[in-house]
């Protein structure tokens, strides 16, 4: 109940300054088990009915912190204490880079939205791997998977992109429970071209071969919300050919027609205005594949989460919504999802998903004329 007052104070600060202050507090908590216990008591749902299994990993609940908030893995143990079933760290690049010039993040409070053009500012894959390896060695490391989101180093030309992603993946492979390939941010020049044609096939086949060398680990692809149907068909076909384990739908959008007032800033739009677009893309992706899906974009409430689950998602990510809702978001979502499960007569979320997915596999298999399976 106190968060609206805190948010008002934080929103008086420049967005990156407010973010730095939040990360300072979370980094302190991450290193002190007493603080983590207090956060867990205050914010984390612990109902076993919320547990789900996705791409071979067990998640305490389906709510995941989206990439972008904890870029350098500074507080990996704090996110489960705040109620997230997982945190996706990054986006990280092979080399450290400063990102785009400031200012590069802009709130739109009346729309519950954010525009950012951060440009993958991060300390590099090696720094994140070292920090995460040390965190995992602590006795209070939580029982929740952690993902690492990997993107393209800005200075690397597109013709060298396979080697660039490989450097990052080799560096973080052993400290991540799952990896996410980011080829869909609008803030790195040329990056979204990797979602198309032979460029994507080349990258994904290279990553698949790398996985064969480094050991089995889930790898997902994060896609943009601005693809047309033909591009979406081609992207999903590439992902399935390469044997990847899932899709994250979606990244931020470059559209501005969903805003009541365009502030005139370049970058990716996130938050409530992205919600209907991201939900539509999620449903469209679901109609085309049986791969596990992670929903992202415009998610704030239990109703938003339930809509994504009904549209085919197994996990649901939040970032901008968490900024506006505050640390009570996970518990509020948990209460809403549990009430919904009782209403639909299901004992737990995993069993509801199993029934949902069995029906979907049958439908997609019938369309393709052959049986299919969820990974």
Number of C-beta neighbours around residue 123 at 10 A = 18
Dihedral sign for Cα atoms in the order 311, 314, 317, 322: positive
Domains, the chain, with CATH or none = 3-368 (3.20.20.70)
Residue 84 and residue 144 in contact, taking contact as beta carbons nearer than 8 Å:
yes
Closest to 44 measured CA to CA, from 10, 78, 69: 78
Report the helix count and the strand count for the chain, using DSSP H and E. Answer: 13, 13
* pLDDT block averages, 10 residues each, the chain of length 375: 91 98 98 98 97 98 98 98 98 98 98 98 98 97 97 97 98 98 96 93 98 97 97 97 98 98 97 98 98 98 98 98 97 98 98 95 70 46
How many whole angstroms from its chain centre is CA 328? Answer: 19
231 CB neighbour count, 10 Å cutoff = 16
Q: Is 231 helix (H, G, I), strand (E, B) or coil?
A: helix
Residue 95 in 3-state DSSP? coil
- Tokens matching residue 343: 């209403």
Q: Which residue's structure tokens are 């609008």?
A: 186
Residue 316 pLDDT: 98
- The C-alpha atoms of residue 344 and residue 226 are separated, in whole angstroms, by 33
Task: Tokens 């109940």: give the residue.
Answer: 1
Residues labelled as active-site residues: 185
Element (H, E) at 351: helix 349-368
Which pTM does this prediction carry?
0.96
**Helix locations, 137-174, DSSP H:** 161-172
Q: Are 98 and 121 in contact (CB under 8 A)?
A: yes
SS3 204: helix
Q: Is 294 left (phi over 0), alpha (psi -120 to 50) or beta?
A: beta
Looking at residue 366, what is its pLDDT? 67
CA 261 to the chain's CA centroid = 27
Tell me which residue has tokens 């499960």. 341
Type and span of the H or E element at 146: strand 146-150
């Amino acid at each position: 109940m106190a968060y609206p007052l805190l948010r008002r104070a934080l929103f008086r600060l420049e967005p990156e300054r407010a973010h730095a202050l939040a990360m300072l507090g979370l980094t302190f908590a991450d290193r002190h088990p007493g603080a983590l216990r207090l956060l867990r008591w205050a914010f984390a749902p612990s109902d076993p009915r919320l547990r789900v299994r996705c791409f071979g990993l067990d998640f305490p609940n389906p709510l995941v912190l989206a990439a972008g908030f904890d870029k350098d893995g500074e507080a990996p143990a704090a996110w489960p204490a705040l109620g997230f079933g997982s945190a996706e760290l990054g986006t990280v690049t092979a080399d450290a880079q400063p990102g785009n010039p400031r200012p590069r993040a802009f709130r739109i409070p009346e729309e519950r939205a954010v525009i950012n053009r951060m440009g993958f500012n991060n300390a590099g894959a090696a720094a994140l791997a070292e920090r995460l390896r040390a965190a995992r060695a602590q006795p209070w490391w939580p029982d929740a998977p952690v993902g690492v989101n990997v993107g393209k180093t800005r200075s690397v030309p597109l013709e060298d992109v396979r080697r660039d992603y490989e450097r990052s993946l080799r560096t973080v492979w052993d400290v991540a429970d799952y990896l996410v390939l980011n080829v869909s941010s609008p803030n790195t020049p040329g990056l979204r071209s990797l979602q198309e044609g032979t460029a994507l096939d080349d990258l994904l086949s290279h990553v698949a071969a790398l996985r064969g060398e480094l050991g089995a680990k889930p790898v997902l692809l994060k896609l943009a919300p601005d693809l047309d149907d033909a591009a979406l068909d081609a992207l999903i076909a590439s992902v399935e050919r390469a044997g990847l384990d899932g899709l994250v739908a979606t990244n931020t959008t470059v559209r501005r027609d969903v805003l009541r007032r365009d502030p005139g800033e370049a970058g990716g739009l996130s938050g409530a205005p992205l919600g209907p677009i991201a939900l539509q893309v999620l449903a469209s992706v679901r109609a085309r594949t049986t791969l596990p899906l992670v929903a992202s974009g415009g998610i704030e409430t239990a109703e938003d989460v339930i809509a994504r689950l009904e549209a085919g998602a197994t996990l649901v990510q939040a970032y901008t919504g968490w900024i506006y809702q505050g640390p009570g978001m996970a518990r509020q979502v948990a209460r809403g999802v549990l009430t919904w499960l009782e209403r639909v007569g299901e004992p737990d979320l995993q069993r509801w998903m199993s029934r949902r997915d069995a029906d979907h596999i049958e439908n997609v298999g019938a369309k393709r004329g052959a049986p299919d399976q969820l990974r």
